[in-house]
Amino acid sequence: MTTEQEAWDEFRYGDEGALKFIFNTYYHLLFNYGHKFTPDDHIIEDVIQDLFVKLWADRSAIKETASVKNYIYKAFRRRLIRKLDYAPKIMAFPAAEDKIQFDIELGHDHRMISSERTKRIQQNLSLALEKMTPRQGEVIHLRYFEELEFDEIADIMQLSTKATYKLLYRAIDALKLHLPKFDYLVILYLLDLSRK
């Protein structure tokens, strides 16, 4: 069985099958991550396709990486932000990165809560997220749903590691400030479950 790291090295030396392996590994993850920035499937798919075409075209110049996931996410995010920055001129999407709404959905581990309460928590979470910055929502997503380490998140979001810690703790504080106490505790519990 090929590991991501082996596939990355093989792709860099011209193995199309290795690139296909990487594409298949990350397509759905990137697609879901892209939906946190825009609801437009076509833009997300275009960016994913463009990213992998560019990777193939530049394969001989691409260096080794300690984390394939980090490299792919960072490259995808940069391209998507650039595309969304251009898109408003022709499609009326928000231009600036700080104006892009970043949505978080509760995972499937909420089954233990009644469906009515789950719906209310989801509504409260949506309201709380509207009061948070998109970057706060993104850092929560990358940390708890993508299970990235702080240095990887810092690299993807182009922040220092220290700033990433601060951003996450501010995001958690913002949730606490804008959610009823019970909902806040349930969401923290579910976020903790998502990392196990």
The model's pLDDT over 38-78, given as tens digits with 9 standing for 90+, comes to: 888 889 998 999 999 999 989 989 988 889 999 999 999 99
Smallest Cα–Cα separation from 107: which of 140, 131, 132? 140
Residue 97 lies in a domain: no
DSSP for 77-111 reads: HHHHHHHHHHTHHHH----SGGGS-------GGGG
18 and 56 housed in the same domain: yes
Please state whether the predicted TM-score (pTM) of the whole model is above 0.85: no
List the domain range (segments joined by +) for residue 50. 4-91
Q: What is the CATH number of the domain that holds 188?
A: 1.20.140.160
- How many domains would you assign to the chain? 2
Last residue of a domain, one of 45, 70, 91: 91
Smallest Cα–Cα separation from 164: which of 147, 174, 184, 149? 149
Maximum average pLDDT range among 17-26, 116-125, 186-195: 17-26
DSSP 119: H
Q: What is the CATH number of the domain that holds 28?
A: 1.10.1740.10
Distance separating alpha carbons of residues 75 and 184, to the nearest angstrom:
33
The model's pLDDT over 130-169, given as tens digits with 9 standing for 90+, comes to: 788 888 888 888 887 788 889 999 999 999 999 999 998 8
